[in-house]
Structure formats: C-alpha cells, structure tokens
Structure 1
Amino acid sequence: MAARSPYFAAEESARGIRPGESPAAALRRILATPGAHQAPCCFDALGARLVERAGFPVGFMGGFCVSAARLGLPDVGLISYGEMVDQGRLINEAVSIPVIGDGDNGYGNSMNIKRTIKGYMNAGFAGIMLEDQVAPKACGHTEGRKVISREEAIMHIKAAVDARKESGSDIVIVARTDSRQAISLDEALWRVKAFADAGADVLFIDALASVEEMKAFCAVAPEVPKMSEPKRVPVLVTFTLCSQGGKADA
C-alpha cells in the first residue's frame, strides 16, 4: 500500500463535515489534530470541489483569486463584501469540507466587521481571515503596504469576537497582520500576541522573511494554531516548521 501523503496530517476519516457538525466545529476539530493542514485557495465552486476531491481537509477562498476571476481586477480593495459573500455561499454549498473565507480588512470599521462576521457565517464559512491593512488595501504580494494602528487592529478583532458571541456562532477567526512588511518583525509579533489575547483562534503574519522569523512566530502564543503562506520561505520548509509546531494551518 502506498504511503499516505505527508501533506495530509488529518486522517481520511477525520476529513469533511460530519452529520450534525457545523463547518466551524469541523475546522476546529481538524486544527486540533497534530501537524500541518494545507488549505489550497479556490475562487469558485468547481475549484472548491477539486480541492475536496484531491483529499485536502480544508479550503480557502482568497480575495486575490476571487477578485481576479470575478472582476478581472487586482486585489486592491475593489471587490465588495457582498460579492465575496455571494461567491462564498456558492462555494460552501458545493463541498462538504470546511472553508475559510478571506475577509480582507473587514470592509470598514468595527460595526462593518460585525456585519461581515455574520454574513460570512450565514454564507457557510467555517472561518474568516481579517487583516490589519488600511483602506484601500493592497495585495499581500506587493511592497508598500500600510497598516492601521495597534489600537484599531485590536478593536477589530474584539469586534469580530463580539459578533460571533452575539450570533451564537463558533466561526473561527483568523487574525492576520501585514505589519512585518509595513513596520517590523517585532511589531508583527506584538500584534499577533495581542490578537490572541483578544480572542483570535488562528494567527497569521504575512511576508515572514526567513526560517528564523517563522520560528519566532511559532513561539508566540504556542497554544494558538498558526497560519502561513510560503512567499520568501520555501514551501517545504514552511510545512516542516508548521508540522513541528503541533497545530497549524498552512
């Protein structure tokens, strides 16, 4: 029998949303499984089905690819909350694996973020990723990004947590900071620790520049799962470090 791929930390029996289980509960169960769990990006229902059929336990609907596929435009804050929710609803209706939705910067202030959380929850998302860029945002693959203040960024995560409680939901909140590129590594590490204290379920620092920086990130709030997108650090190195961290979504 062929060896199981190391890219799938979750056993086959643990994949998929079980009867009576919410998408968020399924995602939390998967994240509680030791090791790294890849979540390939998708931008439509067909792509999401291919992710599921390939055996991945989690999918990710990215703003970059949805903006490109749906509008033919770059990821610079042009796609709207309504368009993302609409696309997400179609994706989530097509698959039986949990999907994380890219919530960009929440589409406004704390009140907007509360609406965004509830909309993504109603669209069937298991989780939502929120970033701390200023509006209009820039693509995560570009230089020159700017971030909001520490205080406002923490307020946004607290608003997301409050919205979840008000809705009686268990949607997973992924807190992302772009401050590594915008300010410094120390700032990014400070922010993700503050996000964890505010109630975020998963942490993500964009644009980590080395293996050492990834290790420093993994050491922050070690009980909280980390998310990583390989850019300047090779994908296999990223995956190995996430696996060693015990709980990660890569």
Structure 2
Amino acid sequence: MFYLAVLAWVAGLVIDVTHTERAMGHLLSYVFPVIALLWLGWRLITGGPSAADVAAMVCLYAAAILVFWRVAATARSADVETDSRYALLPSILVMVAAMASGFVAVIGASASLAQLALALGFAAGGYLFWNYIAYLRRGQTFTFGATGAFGAAGIWLVLIDVMALFATRVSRWALLLAVLVFAADLVVRRVALEGHWARWLNPVLYGVLVALPAVAAIVIATVTADPGSEY
C-alpha cells in the first residue's frame, strides 16, 4: 500500500508542476486504478478469483473513476473561482469518505485499516480547518490541485481496495455507500444559502449533506456486522 500511496502523490505533484491537469490527469485517472488493483490483487487474480471477487474489482475500478472525476472537478472550481461556495468541497469529500470507511473498518474488525483511514480523515480535516479560515478571510482556499486529488483520493482508494478484497468482515455494501460520498457533491451544488451568514454556513451545510451517504454506510456496516466481531 505504501508504494501505491507514494506513486499517487508523486504523480499528482508531477501533474501540478508540469501543468498537465487535463491530459495527464485524465490518463492517470484511468491507469492508476488498474495499477492498484493489479498490484494488490495479483495473487487473487492468478489464483482464480470467484465471481464475487471479479465483481468487486469491476466495482472498485468504476468507483475509482468516479472518485477521481469528482475530486478533480471540485478541486478545479476551488482553485479557479474566487469566493466560490464550493471552495472547501474537495477536502470535505476526502475527510467524510475517509472517516466513514474508517468506522466501517472498525465495525468489520479491521483495526489496522481503520487506523489508516481515520488518520487520512483527520489529516483532511486539519487541511479543511485551515482552508476554512483562509476561505472566510479571502474567499479562496489553499490550492488542492492534482497533488491533493491524486494524493489524498488515491490513498483512500488503495485503502478501500484492500478492505473490499481482503478484509472479509468489512461490508462491501457499506464501502459502496462510502464511495457515493463523492457523488453527493452533484446534489450539493444545487443547494446554497444566501445572505450575510452564507459564507460561514454554506461549507457546514455541504458537510452535513455530503455526510448522509457516510452515515448510511456506517448504519449498513453495523446492521450487517458479523456477530463474532471482536470490535
């Protein structure tokens, strides 16, 4: 997992430095999920995967495309539009999804993966806190860019790949709902408060709306949890 995380972060950094967001960003969005699945699941693939495993890999690849698409799209609007209502969405999406998958992993008796996911969530939350202050002061946030999009989202995708393929007690349905956090911004963009307090409250409202699939994921994980779980 470590090498895949480094690869995602370095690739995003190179894209930012070379300003090739459109060309290389789109290419990496399709290629990185394949590399991750082959790297992590080659033993499973060569050993004869079950139909459920094949379906899981297909869903994970589709999920990766969705995640990179939405994080990159929100990051571009956050970096370009001054005083954008959506300036904090990239870090909100990563934080909420990471926290959701962390709790799902805890419920699924996978403490080590839960720690990694929750650590990512807290890191994104710290970045979100400073961005919120910057947004309130000047209407723009610190650049998320491809480094954030592929670094943070890439690390999260690697974690859910491992959870879905190898953590047998972790609910795959709950992970699917956690992925839908990244689709929630399509709905969030249709909602906005107006008035004096809008700048303060819109990010909070967006966080609450984005958290709905995350809460559903935790509920599903709890309901379907193995009674023999130690956690």
**TM-score normalised according to structure 1 size:** 0.24
- State which structure, 1 or 2, has the greater radius of gyration over its C-alpha atoms: 2
Return the structure number with greater helix share.
2
**TM-score normalised according to structure 2 size:** 0.26
Return the structure number with greater strand share.
1
